[in-house]
Amino acid sequence: MKIVERARTLIQSNDIHKIITTVFAQGMLSITNFSVGILLAKFATKEEYGIFVLFFSFVGFLDGFHNAFFTSPLMVLAGQKEESERTPYVVSISIARNYFYVPVLIIFAASLIVYNLFILHDSRYILLCVFISLVIMMFTAKEYQRTVHFTLLNTNVIFLMDLAMMVTVFSGISIPIFLNKMNALTGLLVLCAGYTASYAYAKMKNPYRDRSKLIIKDAVKENIKYGKWLILGIFSSIFQNRAYIYITTLFLGLSALADVSASRLFMMPMMLLSGSVIKIMVAKGSIMVSKDEHKKFKKFILYFMVTLSTACILYIAIILMLSDTLIGFLGDKYMNTKGLIAMWGVYVLIMTLKSMLTTGIIVYRRFKAQAIFDLIGAVTVILSCIILVTTIGSAGAILSLIAGEFIIFLFYIYLFLKIQTENNTPAAEMDVHGLETL
């Protein structure tokens, strides 16, 4: 009963409504992404599914930089600004990201085309090389709008964004299945349509429209100030989370990548849920910290750490019990992936625990320490992945991710405890809002 009372005190009913709405929204997003992956794995060849995973990894790769320079600073800074400052800041960053991303994506597409034509001497994927830039543009645009609404705690808008994406994707994916044309290109095409529908709705509901007081230069400088260490941390995270794709493809081929990625599909809903919960926790936590409610924020993090990790354990247990049925749906080509699913479960549990501590690190802007720890984790993953993949095969890729995630988790525990110790220091001795050192 004591725990229940504390939970009631900690989270007001309005917060519960927002969190439940976010969970349902994330559920739709998870179902959508999961379904596209599952249907591609089932109806496309292993090579085509491997190509889809490889090209879709570019979306995550470039979104990482977008996250470092634009969405992560926005999550923290927007919530801590006065109302009169918020609109010029958000609108200016929105314009700045377009100035940055359009030329970057043109160069990226051109680089992929040159690589395929003149190094691989293979023209089969030229259309994919061009189209992937459009996918990245719409995905990052959608994520930016999603972040804006998270800073406003507009969870109803986020729910309808994800509903629009789900309806669009499910309507679109039925066509290539019916025509027996499921491949990497059609999978990306359907996802791009979903991102566009989601973005269009969010843009329509975005309250930040006044362009009369643009501060593009100052807004970018402010983001860079807080993003300079974020970029190293996210760059490290990109390599930590994506290196296994390229290493597995290089040493074992697209078929092995398909096995690793197909087994990961069953854990995707929990991964995506964790990512969305972090966003609403950062938005809420930024408000708490701006009011010097440090103890309340600590309890807030610990409460969700216990709740989400418990949900994660139950989810993993259910997936493992149903693994034979789930693998059977994909077909005989994936019959040897049950052990890989279990390893992904271990990885997701550690990742979930780590993500809760990440909230505190982001809100207190401890980006330098986070970047250093993430870099150590990335190096661990890359080196161990090369060794393990070449010695034990596909399982080595997931084991390397587990090793890297666990090392970062231990560092984050240290950093979180250090932050809490500093917050117990009298205010006259310390300014917790401006700290960016170890």
Question: What sign for the dihedral angle of Cα 222, 226, 229, 235?
Answer: negative
| Tokens coding 18 | 């927002």
Mean pLDDT, residues 154-175 taken together: 94
pLDDT of residue 318: 96
Mean pLDDT, residues 111-130 taken together: 89
pLDDT of residue 77: 83
Q: State pLDDT tens for residues 178-200.
A: 999 999 999 999 999 999 999 99
Running DSSP on this structure, what letter comes out for residue 44? S
Mean confidence (pLDDT) of the chain: 86
Query: Considering only 156-165, 211-220, 386-395, which range has the smallest mean pLDDT?
Result: 211-220
Q: Contact at 8 Å (CB) between 359 and 285?
A: yes
Compute the residue count for the chain: 438
State the residue for tokens 């964004």. Answer: 161
Task: Report CA 7 to chain centroid distance, whole Å.
Answer: 27
- At 213, the pLDDT band (50, 70, 90 cuts) reads confident
Which value, to the nearest 10 degrees, does the dihedral of the CA atoms of residues 397, 400, 404, 405 take? Answer: 60
Q: Please name which of 388, 350, 356 lies closest in space to residue 280, comparing C-alpha atoms.
A: 356
Mean pLDDT, residues 225-254 taken together: 81
Q: State pLDDT tens for residues 279-308.
A: 778 878 888 888 888 888 888 899 889 999
pLDDT value at 11 more than 60? no
| Tokens coding 226 | 């807080």
State the residue for tokens 């929105």. Answer: 94
pLDDT value at 111 more than 90? yes
Report how far residue 20's alpha carbon sits from residue 285's, in angstroms, rounded to the nearest whole number: 17
Mean pLDDT, residues 240-262 taken together: 90
Q: How close are the terminal C-alpha atoms of the chain, in Å?
A: 39
Q: State pLDDT tens for residues 25-71.
A: 877 887 898 899 999 999 999 999 999 999 999 998 888 888 888 88
Mean pLDDT, residues 170-184 taken together: 93
Task: Report the predicted TM-score, pTM, of the whole model to 2 decimal places.
Answer: 0.80
pLDDT of residue 56: 93
DSSP 325-386: HHHHHH-GGGTT-HHHHHHHHHHHHHHHHHHHHHHHHHHTT-HHHHHHHHHHHHHHHHHHHH
Q: State pLDDT tens for residues 323-345.
A: 999 888 888 889 889 899 999 99
